[in-house]
């Protein structure tokens, strides 16, 4: 007898909504602050959130994408306070 694959759905909306709120509240003066990750600034971490949200939402829709850029090399583009939460929401919807 062949086993049927099991699909497990996980609701990411509460987590992505909370994370989007945190991203929106990051003050500009904190973007250059360091994180517990050696050599990684807050701006790079937020850019990483945007990158992974985009990549995982695309993968969920069978449209792989993402920059593939190492965390240390990511930069935060203008408009991130709106764009990152939108991409997190798209991830939750995927």
Task: Tell me the per-residue pLDDT of 15-69, one tens digit each, with 9 for 90 and over.
Answer: 999 999 999 999 999 999 999 988 899 999 999 999 889 888 888 777 766 667 7
Q: Is residue 12 part of a domain?
A: no
| Per-residue pLDDT, 56 | 85
**More confident site: 25 or 6:** 25
Q: Is 3 a residue whose pLDDT tops 80?
A: no
Is pTM beyond 0.85? Reply is no
| Residue 30 domain flag | no
CA 92 from chain centre, in angstroms, equals 11
Residue 28 falls inside a structural domain: no
Please state the domain count of the chain: 1
- What dihedral angle (degrees, nearest 10) is formed by the CA atoms of 43, 25, 29, 92? 10
User: Which residue range is the domain that position 84 belongs to?
Assistant: 35-93
Indicate whether 4 pLDDT > 90. Answer: no
Domain annotation covers residue 7: no
* pLDDT score, position 1: 58
Contacts of 19 (CB under 8 A, 6+ apart): 49, 88
**78: in domain:** yes
């Amino acid at each position: 007898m062949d086993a049927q694959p099991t699909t497990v759905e996980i609701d990411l909306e509460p987590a992505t909504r909370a994370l989007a709120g945190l991203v929106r509240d990051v003050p500009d003066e904190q973007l250059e602050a360091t994180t517990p990750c050696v050599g990684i600034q807050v701006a790079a971490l937020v850019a990483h959130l945007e990158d992974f949200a985009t990549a995982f939402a695309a993968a969920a829709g069978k449209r792989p994408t993402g920059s593939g850029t190492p965390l240390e090399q990511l930069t935060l583009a203008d408009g991130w306070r709106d764009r990152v939460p939108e991409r997190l929401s798209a991830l939750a919807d995927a």
